Amino acid sequence: MARDRASIRLDIWADQDWRDLPQGAQHLYMLLLSHPTLSYAGVADWKPGRLAAMTHGATAESVIADAGALREGIFIVVDADSEEVLVRSFIKHDGLMKQPKLVVSMANAYAAIASRTIREVVAFEVQKLRTKEPELNAWGVKQVQTVLAAKGCDMHTVTPPVTPNDDQGQGLPTSTSTTTATATPPEGKMPSLRLPSDWVPTAEHYERAKTLRVDIVQEIENFKGHAETHDRHAANWNSAFTTWLKKAKPSTKSNTDWALRV
């Protein structure tokens, strides 16, 4: 059964985290929520260039920047390697778990997810929903048992939030840690992790690069390459990239070429 409509809750405007998002990030979220490739598991194709082509004036770079804001707000998970993006709260808010036939569609869509990280976050969200709404008939559907038994991972441990979020993990036994976690850090300190595969710069990074006249596309490539080559760990990769941009040399390209890159 293919999706032919998108469900958008009006109380989204009561969420201050949503209101704090820049306009571009809100637009991208609505685009993903209504995108033709969005599955019943809340996963869509992550192809920034094609997403940009759906909005006049947008570019692949602006889509990536807007995705950075959504990622920081714990609204989406991006896996650039598998070219997938998850709208985290889709399963919770779409209402499909109240319809047995759609529950089967969700389980089938879950099986089709290529990204391990996204599969674990989807499993966690389904398991968390079962804890909150145990009376739903969905839990008796045979196909959903695979998702309930799968390893889950709280998105907050994959992409730590900038500020605390009331929707943080529910302490489910399947959401202990990610494969990139190191030893437990001292209380009050964030753990140092490898650069997440879905990391993208924020809108502020693009603005800073523009001010510094730095070729941000090239610097993103250099930054990721350096992190991988040297097996770098950081507690806050956004801050690390801000420092990287401050040390970057201004672009030597012509004014026209530089403007097109940023």
What pLDDT tens digit does each residue of the chain (262 aa) get?
A: 456 667 777 888 888 888 999 999 999 999 999 999 999 999 999 999 999 999 999 999 999 999 988 988 889 999 988 999 999 988 888 777 878 788 899 999 999 999 999 999 999 999 988 888 888 888 888 888 989 999 988 887 765 443 333 443 333 333 333 333 334 444 445 567 888 887 888 888 888 888 888 888 888 988 888 888 877 888 788 888 888 888 888 876 544 444 444 4
Give domain status of residue 194, yes or no. Answer: no
128 and 234: one domain?
A: no
Axis-axis angle for helices 237-247, 203-212 (nearest 10): 10
Residue 4: partners with Cβ closer than 8 Å, 6 or more residues away = none
Give domain status of residue 129, yes or no. Answer: yes
131 and 223: one domain?
A: no
- Specify the pLDDT at position 185: 47
111 and 219: one domain?
A: no
115 and 221: one domain?
A: no
Give domain status of residue 247, yes or no. Answer: yes
Cα separation of 84 and 78, whole Å? 6
User: What is the CA angle 157-159-164, rounded to 5?
Assistant: 75
- Specify the pLDDT at position 190: 58
Q: How far is CA 245 from CA 46, 106, 194, 209, 210, in A?
A: 25, 41, 19, 7, 10
Cα separation of 72 and 70, whole Å? 5
Cα separation of 47 and 220, whole Å? 17
What are residue 87's DSSP bridge partners?
76
Domain-ending residue, one of 140, 158, 176: 158
Domain-ending residue, one of 103, 130, 158: 158
pTM more than 0.85? no
Give domain status of residue 167, yes or no. Answer: no
Cα separation of 117 and 132, whole Å? 23
Domain-ending residue, one of 104, 127, 158: 158
Q: What is the DSSP letter of 76?
A: E
Domain range for 251 is 203-261
34 and 151: one domain?
A: yes
- Specify the pLDDT at position 167: 41
Query: What is the count of structural domains for the chain?
Result: 2
Give domain status of residue 68, yes or no. Answer: yes
Give domain status of residue 249, yes or no. Answer: yes
Give domain status of residue 186, yes or no. Answer: no
Cα separation of 43 and 113, whole Å? 8
Give domain status of residue 240, yes or no. Answer: yes
CB neighbourhood size of 23 (10 A): 8
